[in-house]
Amino acid sequence: MTANLAHHAPFFAVKNGQLHVESVPATDIAERFGTPCYVYSRAALEASLDEFLNELTGVDALVCYAVKANSNLAVLNVFARRGAGFDIVSGGELQRALAAGADPKKIVFSGVGKSAEEMAFALKTGILCFNVESAPELERLNDVAGSLGLKAPISLRVNPNVDAKTHPYISTGLKENKFGVAYEDALAIYQRAAALPHIEVTGIDCHIGSQLLDPSPFAEALDKVLLLIDQLAASGITLHHIDLGGGLGIRYQDEGAPTVNSYLQPLLKKLKARSLKIVLEPGRRLVGNAGALLTKVEFLKPGEVKNFAIVDAAMNDLARPALYDAWHDIVPVVPRNTAPSSWEIVGPICESGDFLGHSRPLAIAPGDLLAIMSAGAYGMAMSSNYNTRPRVAEVMVDGDQAHLIRRRETVEELLALESLLP
């Protein structure tokens, strides 16, 4: 099936015979910064955040962008300038968020394995809330806060055991997942938390999975969490905020991704009568369709069974196809008007799983540029140096300007971290 750019417009669109990112021709970006490179549209980032902010006008709510989806400082800064908070999962992400201008009071800290050092850093920073994911984590946090003479604000991440109906690797709200505490255990752990001297119970948290295309599991999870909130209230524990996590899906191919309105309105309706601040942790939805990976066709290898187009980007740059069999639209930067053939779009890495797309109808020649669309989320953030491939450059377009926001790594930089035996 042929790729369609309609859902990327107006930020990524073919104008005057070639793909533009906002007002900048993609060929200019490739020429100036080289390929492969990630390119993001600032206007697209802002538009996706605004979709949330507009739905939340007049509501006591905080959008905490999930840093792990795309943690480039310039991306974080675009969101921080618009008042967003951040959902972090490591001390490294906390440092990034602060370097990008985040307000500490708008940072929530998720993750199942927070170290004592990470806890101390976040406590001293004065973050909004720790999303605690287990009973032993609660004890450790109490100890660390005590040693610093501080009190740790916490939410318990509860596992509502709802089926997010997404890929098993990115489903997190089922009993068999490693995340959060079992719904049945939450009350007892909250009671323990309320009794700890260096813990301050402030909220409740759940995150049921990623790339959800049906909003109903969110409502189902919320119902369960509200029930728990009532049980907690009955036992004398009052919460101030409810964190509904992230997970709203995007359109990669032809999926019907829900609007932010259809996702949020049912939730807001259920929360209307309650005086709870709402925290949201969208990741993919804010950045996924705001980025593309530009790559160049190196060689064409037509064959009897399959035709291979070997491009200069690979699974180390964009792991999602190899990891989840994920689909990304692949479009020519300068479309040709010759007849397309079917191509396997593969990278130079020595793995058969190194593909970016299967059976794509494209009219291409060596040297052509391709754009791998919807690569703004879990693209660069999941990249690696496998095969000693330096990580690629990242560029952000703002109107008619393209800015380098992360320069390409060099092999020398990679080798500099290593040493020979004496």
Ligand X SMILES: *Cc1c(COP(=O)(O)O)cnc(C)c1O
Strand partners, 342: 361
Tally Cβ neighbours within 10 Å of residue 269: 10
Which one of the spans 276-284, 326-334, 352-360, 384-392 is the region binding ligand X (CB under 6 A)?
A: 276-284
**Binding status of residue 368 toward ligand X by CB under 6 A:** no
Binding-site string for ligand X from residue 179 to residue 218, where x marks contact by CB under 6 A and - marks none:
----------------------------x--x--------
Q: Are 257 and 251 in contact (CB under 8 A)?
A: yes
Nearer to ligand X, 243 or 354 (CB): 243
Nearest partner of 313 among 13, 36, 22, 16, judged by Cα: 36
Nearest partner of 401 among 5, 28, 12, judged by Cα: 28
Q: Are 247 and 218 in contact (CB under 8 A)?
A: yes
Nearest partner of 375 among 310, 317, 416, judged by Cα: 317
Which one of the spans 22-30, 33-41, 240-248, 391-399 is the region binding ligand X (CB under 6 A)?
A: 240-248
Q: How far is the CB of 227 from ligand X (least distance, A)?
A: 21
Told to judge if 350 belongs to the known catalytic residues of this protein, a careful annotator would answer: yes
Nearer to ligand X, 33 or 40 (CB): 40
Angle 42-55/73-81 helices, nearest 10 degrees? 40
Q: How far is the CB of 220 from ligand X (least distance, A)?
A: 17
Q: Which two tokens stand for residue 410?
A: 């060099």
Amino acid letter, 345: I
**Binding status of residue 281 toward ligand X by CB under 6 A:** yes
Of 46, 55, 87, 137, the one binding ligand X by CB under 6 A = 87
Nearer to ligand X, 110 or 289 (CB): 110
**Binding status of residue 91 toward ligand X by CB under 6 A:** no
Sign of the CA dihedral with 405 first, then 357, 323, and 162 last: positive
Which one of the spans 35-43, 118-126, 280-288, 326-334 is the region binding ligand X (CB under 6 A)?
A: 280-288
* Contact footprint for ligand X (CB under 6 A): 66, 68-69, 87, 110, 207, 210, 245-247, 281-285
